[in-house]
Each structure stands twice: as C-alpha cells, then as structure tokens.
C-alpha cells in the first residue's frame, strides 16, 4: 500500500505538473472507484473545474479545485497515478469484445505521433481518467480496485478525512503528544503505529523501519516504552518517512510515480522484507513474525523481545486490514 512517502512524492510531482490545468471531463471505467457523490453527480460536477492546488493528508491525496471543491483520493493497496501527454487516444473496444476481460483490465491507450503510425500502450487497470483541456490525461490505475476517489465541498473536508491523527512531519506531532498517546495504549507498538488515529500516514513499511531505528521489538506493549525509547521512536518515525520521500517512495510491487517509475527507497530499507538477510548494524539474521495478521520484520539482536511482565500483550487476530483504513 502506498504510505505517506509514496503519496507525498506523487503529490509533489502533481503540484509541479497539473496545477492550473482544467479538467474537461472524467471518464470512469470502474463505477465503485467513485465513493462520493453518486457517479452521475460526480461526472457532472467535476467537468470544467480547474486544479488550484495539490495537498496530502495522511495517505490521502487532496486536489483543491475551483468552485470550492475538493477531490480526495485514497490509493489503498495498488492505486497509482500516471500522467499521459497529449496524443494518447482511449480505446474501449475490449468492453464489447470481452466484457469479463474489460472488467479486469479496463481500457488501453493508443498513441499516434504522425499519420499512419500507431503505438499501443499496455495500460491495464485504468479505473478513472481525468481528461485535461490541454490534451493530457491523468489516469488513476488500480489492479485490485480498493482505491477510492471522492468529490466533496471544501467545507466538508473534515468529514471526508475524519478519524486521522496528526501529521508526523508537522509541528503538532510532538514528543509530548506521542508519549501521552503511547502511555495510554496496551496494544503492541506495531499495531499502535498503524493506527491512523494515532498518527496519520504510517503503514507496514515505515512502522518496521521506525521500530528498527529505535531498537524496539514490534511486539512490545506501547505503554511499556521508556521515555528514552519514546524519544528515539519519535525521531525514527520522522527520519524514515523523510528518507522515504527523498528516495521517491518504496516500490517492491505495484507502487509507481507519476511517470511510471519505481521509487528507490526499497534499496534503503533495513528490515522490511529483509527476512533471512544480515542486519546492517550487527549482522544477525533478520526475522519475520506475524502480529494481528500483519508481517513484522526485525533484528532479534538489535530489537530484543520483551522479557519483563507488562512488556508484551497478545496481538488481536481480528485487527482490521490496513487496506480498509
């Protein structure tokens, strides 16, 4: 799932590329991608609006539009944006030729740079296309179809983004706040870091990396951390997120940036999906465990398992999937 660094990196690319452009129309190829309002209203209301700004809140990409409208996008597990230059033409012939394949793959796009020349781009899984007045197309692709695109009045922003905690890279994510919220949590620290109401934007990748930074085992109880450990973890959250943005996000499967390029941060992770490899700090083999049906990667030497009463708690198997948060 794209986490804060991946969304922020794409937001910066969009800010440099589409602010000032006008949306001529939206084309929707998977109706359920549109979460609000009803599809006919969405199509009617977004046509003709100008893109005034690009922001991010947690894992949400926010597009400020003219008319005091707000487009919110949650990419969930496999959602990506791709910006096509002018000259690409939509091909929906698969919808009639093979409806079942269409439901999975969506349309393709053809590029005709000169008369008699046509190139086909195997653009699969396009769910929404925002056609801009200048001829470019901003595509939202999503193989697993969990992503949601919603159009709101800007006055309803708090409703659209309800339940999100502070931004970890903003001033309100203080050590005092973090210490206070952890002191009241009996859950394991890995679960607490994934709770978007505690801090917005952290997912599996950066939770593992932050805990490694702070030498904290993922199964420690949140309220068992010392003041020094909380301070280290606070610094770790900020550090690994900033590094993720700097390296263009983490691509190990589906995530791509606005130009279809993979992020480089996977080459800079220390424990995430590094099971069986040596720890960069001490050489001990990285291990993996499951906490609340989620993988957790750690160094058993640098992040020693809790041994004292009150340091550990059983992980709840019913923890909701991050794809739905």
Query: Which entry of 107, 221, 294, 322 is annotated as an active-site residue?
Result: 294
Does residue 2 carry a catalytic annotation? yes
Q: Rounded to an integer, what distance in angstroms lies between the CA atom of residue 43 and that of residue 244?
A: 35
Q: Rounded to an integer, what distance in angstroms lies between the CA atom of residue 94 and that of residue 114?
A: 24
Sign of the alpha-carbon torsion through 97, 99, 104, 108: positive
Q: Rounded to an integer, what distance in angstroms lies between the CA atom of residue 134 and that of residue 76?
A: 29
Query: Which entry of 2, 107, 166, 218 is annotated as an active-site residue?
Result: 2
Does residue 59 carry a catalytic annotation? yes
Does residue 294 carry a catalytic annotation? yes
Q: Give the DSSP letter string of 39-82.
A: HHHHHHHHTT-BEEEEEEETTEEEEEETTTEEEEEE-TTT-EEE
Query: Which entry of 3, 6, 150, 322 is annotated as an active-site residue?
Result: 3
Does residue 256 carry a catalytic annotation? no
Query: Which entry of 56, 59, 76, 256 is annotated as an active-site residue?
Result: 59
Unique residue bearing structure tokens 């970890």:
168
Residue 302 neighbours by CB distance under 10 Å: 21
- Decide if 110 contacts 121 (C-beta within 8 A): yes
Residue 159 neighbours by CB distance under 10 Å: 10
Active site residues: 2-3, 59, 294
């Amino acid at each position: 799932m794209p986490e804060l660094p991946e969304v922020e990196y794409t937001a910066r690319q969009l800010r440099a590329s589409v602010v000032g452009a006008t949306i001529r129309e939206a084309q929707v190829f998977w109706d359920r991608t549109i979460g609000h309002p009803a599809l006919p209203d969405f199509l009617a209301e977004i046509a003709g609006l100008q893109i005034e700004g690009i922001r991010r809140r947690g894992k949400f990409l926010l597009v400020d539009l003219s008319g005091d409208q707000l487009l919110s996008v949650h990419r969930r597990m496999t959602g990506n944006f791709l910006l096509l230059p002018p000259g690409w033409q939509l091909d929906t012939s698969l919808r009639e030729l093979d409806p079942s394949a269409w439901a999975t793959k969506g349309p393709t796009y053809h590029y005709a740079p000169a008369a008699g020349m046509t190139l086909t781009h195997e653009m699969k899984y396009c769910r929404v296309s925002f056609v801009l007045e200048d001829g470019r197309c901003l595509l939202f692709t999503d193989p697993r179809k969990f992503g949601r695109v919603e159009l709101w009045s800007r006055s309803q922003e708090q409703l659209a983004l309800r339940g999100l905690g502070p931004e970890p890279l903003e001033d309100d994510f203080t050590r005092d706040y973090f210490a206070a919220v952890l002191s009241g949590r009996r859950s394991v620290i890995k679960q607490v870091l994934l709770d978007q109401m505690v801090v917005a934007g952290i997912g599996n990748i950066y939770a593992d990396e932050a805990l490694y930074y702070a030498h904290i085992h993922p199964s420690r109880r949140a309220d068992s951390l010392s003041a020094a450990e909380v301070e280290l973890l606070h610094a770790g959250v900020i550090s690994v997120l900033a590094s993720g943005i700097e390296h263009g996000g983490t691509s190990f499967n589906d995530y791509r940036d606005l130009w279809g390029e993979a992020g480089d941060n996977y080459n800079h992770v220390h424990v995430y999906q590094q099971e069986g490899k040596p720890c960069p700090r001490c050489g001990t083999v990285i291990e993996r465990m499951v906490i609340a049906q989620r993988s957790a990667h750690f160094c058993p030497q640098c992040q020693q398992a809790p041994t004292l009463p009150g340091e550990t708690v059983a992980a709840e198997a019913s923890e909701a999937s991050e794809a739905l948060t």
